[in-house]
A and B are shown apart, each in its own frame.
Chain A
């Protein structure tokens, strides 16, 4: 499978716990994006990497959120001290600078109880 892969697909956690999600982009893509999608809404941009550099962060990305892409390949998104409001689908996308077109993974659905 050569698409964008996200793990885990589902995560249930207790309020206050830390969680980490992983995204493996399409192998030749140097750009990687994280989005958050709450129920009944469209995805909202969180952050963007070009290779290993994090080039933009949305105001939605509070201090409890951190994203990394250490070797310019896979990326992780960590949420510390989760809150019920963090419950959402977290989507990852990747693109190449050649075409710019983003391809999305199937997302990680987070439920904070």
Chain B
């Protein structure tokens, strides 16, 4: 069975600190996709990144970076120099190839990030 675990329920940091959100996943599929979504208080899930299981290259987008390690089944998300606007709930998610790179997603429980000024 597929499963996503985000062990950190809540994280609180002070602005400009770096913060890493952990994600560990379980799947028996060889082809799968990993995602991070951001959910601000308005409720809408905002897509941040999608990574397929064959691409273990780390990715950086501005202050955001992602570290994918198949050996440890982890897909961690780091925010560098955090800002108050980064405060939200962040979800890691998993999808199998049957659903064409996404759509039917298995979500973790989410990590609520609070960035204080």
Contact = CB atoms under 8 A, between A and B. Distances in A.
Chain A: number of interface residues, binned into ranges: 20 to 34
Interface stretch (A15-23, A36-44, A61-69, A73-81): A36-44
Given A40-B109, A42-B91, A42-B109, A33 B47 contact: no
B44 A107 contact: yes
Q: How large is the interface on B (under 10, 10 to 19, 20 to 34, 35 or more residues)?
A: 20 to 34
Interface in B75-114: 91, 93, 99-110
A44 B109 CA distance: 10
Nearest to A89: B43
B45 A104 contact: yes
Contacts of B45: 43, 91, 93, 104
Interface of B: 4, 37, 42-47, 50, 91, 93, 99-110
Interface of A: 31, 33, 40-45, 48, 56, 89, 91, 93, 95, 97, 99-107, 109
